[in-house]
Amino acid sequence: MAGADFVEKHLLAGKTAIITGANSGIGLEAAKDLAGKGARIVMAVRNLQKGNAARQEIIGRHPQAQVELMQLDLTDLTNIRFFTERFRSENDSLDLLINNAGVMMPPYTKTKDGFELQFGGNHLGHFALTGLLMPLLNNTPFSRVVTIASLAHNRGKIDFDNLDGSKGYKAKKFYNQSKLANLMFALELDKKLKEHGCQTISVACHPGISATNIFKLGKRDAPKFLRNAANFYLQPPEMGALATVYAAVHPSLTGGEYIGPDGKGYRKGYPTLETPHDAALDAAVANRLWEVSEKLTGVKFDFDNYK
């Protein structure tokens, strides 16, 4: 799977892709790549000012690109519903949804709906977004959902008795949990799509160890010295984004795959097929996580009515 040129330029012409967190890091690099391949990009971002600067960067590289901005706050279920209602009112198809946005190891913080920030934003927000967009996805031939996980999933555990962190909070533990939830969601989604005869596929991926602005203090950027150190030692975002682009467009994928870098420890390199940690393959936990996520978000996936 080595190499970045696995899809010819303009092969995605006429196709629409929503990318959450597309204003920086992996999301921005993926948006640049897909825009260059002809896709219409909808940048779903919390901060429109930062989003517009990123949009101008993409257009500067690809002057003919179709790039739009829409405001989306994945830590607010009301805002997620507003976003999806607006998008569905203006579009009758959706080829690609990339669940990319995320926050890493903030101090203990809750979302507007009372969820712990990492579990709420990284997982529950994307769960709700995907469910609300699923009618459009399933009505679009060859559509895909790509969810960004992390190597950290292999140290994660879903603590159903303390999802909100009220019984104790450790930032790294809750980050690991959220990324395990991302991966379990992606795999379980593909399983359910296939079981119900839906044509949409779900693929998971991870960027290896990449230097992005995911390092946050709450919703504030980490100190500049920390970001500079990350940029020096870690894989650059444009390399980290290759797994996302591969998962999004490669014609060989049929759903349920997990894509990441091919280098030592899967930390750096070009896209390759990987095997999730056993923790992500626990069917009982995945099913319970799905049921809890539907209950917490109020979003149910009505697969039988998607066909």
Active site residues: 175
Record the tokens describing residue 85, joined without a space: 């209602």
For residues 199 and 142, the answer to whether their CB atoms sit within 8 Å is yes
* Residue of 204, 197, 226 lying closest to 214 (CA atoms): 226
- The DSSP H or E segment spanning 40 is strand 40-45
For residues 74 and 129, the answer to whether their CB atoms sit within 8 Å is yes
* Residue of 34, 54, 24 lying closest to 95 (CA atoms): 34
For residues 297 and 124, the answer to whether their CB atoms sit within 8 Å is yes
* Residue of 257, 251, 258, 254 lying closest to 206 (CA atoms): 258
Paired residues of 19 in beta bridges: 43, 98
